Copies of this chain bind each other. A is one copy, B any other.
Amino acid sequence: MDTLRKKIAARQNPTVAGLDPDFAKLPAFLREQAVARRGKTLEAAADAVLAFNRAIIDALCDVVPAVKPQAAYYELLGWPGVRALAETIAYAREKGLFVITDAKRGDIGSTMAAYARAHLGTVEIEGAEITPFGADALTVNAYLGSDGVLPALEVCKAHGKCIFVLGKTSNPSSGEIQDKLVDGEPVYSLLGHLCAHWSGMAAGGEPSGRYGTVGLVAGATYPAQLAELRQNLPHTFFLVPGYGAQGGGARDVAPAFDENGDGAIVNSSRAILYAWRKEGCNERDFAGAARREALRMKEDLNAVLADHSK
């Protein structure tokens, strides 16, 4: 997590911009250019998505420390979309951004190791080491227990990467399973404690540093639970979705941070990506609008964090 924390400190901005590009919502000129070149195909859609992402990354790379591509939107465009995901990750890293692939993968044993090697590590092809996707971090669904997390930690250790495990997600129905009480403790809190335990294991059983290898996803839409998790998990870094389009504000995310304004990164996807629609500006200025929204969010967060740290 230290690489991410340094990038946050350098930009004075604990924001991760979600890259969830929905082809149908891209500026018309990008869609038309791509279809003119390659027809109404997955390849055309993937080209448009990549062009969109590159412009967004160029506009944001000195404002935000990290981007979070959402795998679903790339898979929706088949294998050309997945190629656009790999190219987006490579481009963002070239521009100095930390990349969290939001894929919520979860499986067991050698299958989980395959996911982790795919997204964070390497694969060996007859002696050659090749990097399939090369992100810095991956979101993980740990419903399968330790068998679904430990293989990913091995890959993190070998390649200096980290993971974020789903704890309390930002959606309305997250409570159906996550809020259920187990011996008086909600399931999301159990997951939080497991994260702290796994971070300790990743650090070789030693007490982990300020923030360990296994982070937790905890939504801005549940500020009380966020505050409780922050208090109980002093060494767990949080990835906080739900700011902006999902209804969370800067005051709602403040409890995710520690007394130094460290310990969390807040995601915004649609509000940044599609800012040009809200601004009503020329669609060709979509990247400029994204940058203005990211700067507004940075100010918003920093103002509240200044209060929070007092």
* Interface range for A: 35 or more
* A residues 95-148 in Cβ contact with B at 8 Å: 104-112, 114-115, 117-119, 123-128, 130, 132-133, 141-148
The answer for the CA separation of A211 and B143 in the assembled complex, in Å, is: 25
- Report whether B75 and A125 are in contact in the complex, using a CB–CB cutoff of 8 Å: no
A171 within 8 A of B: yes
Can you list, as one digit per residue, whether each of A171-198 has a CB less than 8 Å from chain B (1) or not (0)?
A: 1111111101111000100110010000
- Report whether B72 and A20 are in contact in the complex, using a CB–CB cutoff of 8 Å: no
Can you list, as one digit per residue, whether each of A1-38 has a CB less than 8 Å from chain B (1) or not (0)?
A: 00000000000000000001011100000010001000
Looking at chain A's contact residues, the main secondary structure is: helix
A273 within 8 A of B: no
Can you list, as one digit per residue, whether each of A246-280 has a CB less than 8 Å from chain B (1) or not (0)?
A: 00000000000000000000000000000000000
- Report whether A123 and B45 are in contact in the complex, using a CB–CB cutoff of 8 Å: yes
A41 within 8 A of B: yes
Q: In chain B, what residue has the closest Cβ to A186?
A: B182
12 more A-B contacts (CB under 8 A) besides A31-B126, A78-B130?
A41-B125, A75-B115, A76-B132, A78-B82, A78-B86, A79-B79, A79-B86, A108-B169, A143-B177, A145-B171, A181-B182, A187-B187
